[in-house]
Amino acid sequence: MTTIITKKPIIETVSNQPSKKAVYETKQLNLWYGSNHALKNIDLEIMENEVTAIIGPSGCGKSTYIKTLNRMVELVTSVKTSGEILYRGRNIFDQDYGVEELRTRVGMVFQKPNPFPKSIYDNVAYGPRIHGIKNKKILDEIVEKSLRGAAIWDEVKDRLNENAYSISGGQQQRICIARALAIEPDVILMDEPTSALDPISTLKVEELVQELKKDYSIIIVTHNMQQAARISDKTAFFLNGEVVEFDHTDTIFSNPSDKRTEDYISGRFG
Amino acid sequence: MRYIEQQTVVKRMDGRLIINAVFKYLFMAATLLALLALVILLYRIVTQGAGHLSIDFLMNFASRFPEQAGIKAALVGSLWLMMVVAPTSIILGVGSAIYLEEYARQNRITTFIRMNISNLAGVPSVVFGLLGLTIFVRALSLGNSVLAAGFTMSLLILPVIVVASQEAIRSVPGELRDASYGMGATKWQTIVKIILPAAIPGVLTGSILALSRAIGETAPLIVIGIPVIIQFLPAGVMDTFTALPMQIYDWSSRPQQEFQTVAAAGIIVLMAVLLFMNSIAVIIRNKFDKRY
């Protein structure tokens, strides 16, 4: 259902070389919340060092899908899945694949900035600490590296011991990104990371995403189609729990092959 | 056509405003009445008992002469009681609350348990006294010791602590749990590092208010046979003791008029202890209160 349909040949840019490896291969994924069939036969292949955007109207399953990638969806009771998701070739639903191990490789940034009610330093050091790093010098290094990585080091370097709630919402969200970077993940999942932010903070996060894709594979759910067009390499359009179309972002936005995609991106519904 | 006629609105306005004012004063009167009762109570006790308050009163054992009667045994006994009740009830209560909120699945059995914990908080204290008498005093042969009384009181206030802790844990935003789990933290790490620190103000406030109830409770102590007049201090948890409300109850039921004064002085001491504990609860809440 969701093969990559290309009407015109795609000009391969340097960053789009075919030698790239897949981080996530989703095969025939189905998911039910009780009797509600939320994801239907999803087939998606997500490549490394790319930004993959997931767009679609509310309730289309895009958030559910991204939460399935690190199995956060299982925190909701009565979730049932079938099919498989291979992360770096290994099925994440395997009995012996621990969720903690998976989530160490796959960081997540949430819709609302959700720092812990602790200092900025302790927020970023949380991940390394739970994974057993106690050495203060190493922690200092990780905190600085992560805050620099999230482009917020200069703004907070003199107030690392202040409560993370004392800074603005946009800064909090970048602290949350730094916190996700601190576990040195391979993939970063972002669930509408800018929906609670003002335009300037949004711009900063978008620039950051561009920067981060050099080292990480990023999957971002967004309500904002312009955002998807601006920052992503590939875009998947979800509708009613199905992937309607998955292609290079340029193609999706300039020459979609499905009528529903065209209607959605031109603002006729959703 | 319009459904709301401006004329009718104006006509009805007076009546609405009167009702509005009537209820305001009705509620105010209710508050004042409660306040008045409290003031009268405090006034009576302070005028009656303040004269008898002295260092001697705190340092003397009970006596059959009112002028020599002191509250030492009861005050120290109540402190001993708290040393057993506080750890027992807080550890068990917070533990159960964590289990019910974070681990237990939502099904009929856990819903039933949750519902009945709230109901248990309403069971009369004398019933807990009978339970303590049967289990701790007799079956476990602890006698009328600090330990037996402490365990009985712990059972009595356990439901209150569980419910208060559950509320506190439930009010920790789900986003904080998500953030922790999202970084690969285990459930235990999330509970210890995120949930408990955020829930501590609520947990401690509820616990201290529950402990205040335990320190003022008399019925269970009477049922398990705690003596009133003892001339020694307990040396350990297996010794017998007496407690503030027991001592006050005894003094106030004596025929001599002078003992009423002694009882009033005892009530002042008990209230001072209660106020002290409640202010600790307030301080803790203000200190740990964090905004999300």
Sign of the dihedral through C-alpha B113, B115, B118, B121: negative
The tens digit of pLDDT for each residue in B38-90 reads 999 999 989 888 888 888 888 888 777 777 788 888 898 999 999 999 999 99
The tens digit of pLDDT for each residue in B212-253 reads 989 989 899 999 988 887 888 888 888 888 888 988 998 888
Contact check, Cβ <8 Å, B185/A77: no
The pTM (predicted TM-score) of the whole model is 0.81
Q: Which residue among A103, A115, A163 sits closest to B183, beta carbon to beta carbon?
A: A103
The tokens of B171 are what? 């009010």
**Chain A closest-CA separation from residue B238 CA (Å):** 43
**How far apart, in whole angstroms, are the C-alpha atoms of residue B221 and residue B219?**
5
A234 within 8 A of A20, measured Cβ to Cβ: no
CB atoms within 10 A of CB A134: 8
List the strands of the sheet with A36-47, edge to edge: A36-47, A22-33, A79-87, A90-91
Q: Which residues 87-116 of B are in CB contact (within 8 Å) with A? A: 105-106
Residue A1: its pLDDT value, please? 45
**Chain B closest-CA separation from residue A17 CA (Å):** 31
Contact check, Cβ <8 Å, B175/A131: no
Query: Which residue of chain A has the CA closest to B288?
Result: A117
Contact check, Cβ <8 Å, A165/B173: no
Q: Is the pLDDT of residue B289 over 90?
A: no
Residue B254: its pLDDT value, please? 86
Return the closest-CA partner of residue A231 out of A171, A260, A266, A188: A188
Name residue, tokens 């933290």: B185
- Per CB distance under 8 Å, which residues of A are interface residues toward B? 70, 72, 75, 77, 99-104, 107-108, 110, 112, 114-117, 126-127, 130-131, 163, 165, 176, 179-180, 183
User: Which of B102, B108, B183 to mutate: most A Cβ within 10 Å?
Assistant: B183
Query: Which residue of chain B has the CA closest to A130?
Result: B185
3-state secondary structure A3-42: CCCCCCCCCCCHHHCCCCCEEEEEEEEEEEECCEEEEEEE
Q: Which residues 179-238 of B are in CB contact (within 8 Å) with A? A: 179-186, 189, 193-194, 197-198
The interface predicted TM-score of the complex, written ipTM, equals: 0.86
From first to last of its 270 residues, what are the pLDDT tens digits of chain A?
Answer: 444 444 444 444 444 555 678 899 999 999 999 889 999 999 999 999 999 999 999 889 999 999 999 999 988 878 899 999 999 989 999 988 989 999 999 999 999 999 999 999 999 999 999 999 999 999 999 999 999 988 899 999 999 999 999 999 889 999 999 999 999 999 999 999 998 888 888 998 899 999 899 999 999 999 888 899 999 999 999 999 999 999 999 999 999 999 999 998 888 775
B175 touches chain A (CB under 8 A): yes
- Which residues on neighbouring strands pair with residue A30, listed in sequence order? A82
Q: E strands, B82-212, where?
A: none
